Amino acid sequence: SVLEQLTERMRKSVPDLAIEPINKKYFSALEALNVDRENPMIVLFMGANIGNFELNEAEDFVKKIANALRKDDQLMIGFDLKKNPNMILEAYNDKKGITTSFNMNLLTRLNSELEADFEPDRFMHYPYYDPQTDIL
C-alpha cells in the first residue's frame, strides 16, 4: 500500500524516528492517537480529502484533531486551494481517461475481491462538482 511504501521510505531516510502508521478511517484514526506515550508526535494528514466532508463534519474533524494533540505535538496538514470549477471537472474527466479507468476498475475489484455482482459496462463515469459546497 502507499502507506507501507511511505513508512518504509521514511524509516530509511530518518532511522531514529519512531514511525507508527495508522491505517483507519478519519474519526477512528483520531481515537488511535489517544495512547499513552512519552514522546511528542507529528501527525501527517493528507488534507485534500477533508474537502469531501460537509462543512460541519470538517469542523468537527479539525476540532477532534486539536483535542487529540498534546502541547508538544505537531500537525502537518495539506489543503487544496479553491479552484475554478472547470479546472476540477477537467481533472476528474481527463482526456486520457485515467480517472474514468481508475473509478471503473473499482467495480471490477469489488466483483473479484468482495464477490460483488456489478456489471461495469452498465455504469459510466460522471464527475459532478458543486462549487457552492466544494463537494465533488
Average pLDDT in the 49-53 region? Answer: 74
Residue 107: name the closest of 86, 125, 134 by CA.
125
Q: What is the pLDDT of residue 2?
A: 82
Which H or E run includes 28? helix 26-33
Tell me, what's the pLDDT at 48? 63
Q: What is the pLDDT of residue 72?
A: 92
- Tens of pLDDT, residue by residue over 5-47, are 989 999 999 999 888 888 888 888 888 887 778 888 888 877 5
Greater confidence (50 vs 111) lies with 111
Average pLDDT over residues 107-113: 95
The string of pLDDT tens digits covering residues 64-100 is 888 888 899 998 887 777 788 999 899 889 889 999 9
SS3 sequence, 46-98?
Answer: CHHHHHHCCHHHHHHHHHHHHHHCCCCCEEEECCCCCCCHHHHHHHHCCCCCH
Q: What is the pTM of this model?
A: 0.56
Q: Are 1 and 23 in contact (CB under 8 A)?
A: yes
Residue 134 has pLDDT above 80, yes or no: no
**Residue 43 has what DSSP assignment?**
E
Give rounded-to-5 percent helix, strand, coil for the chain: 50, 5, 45
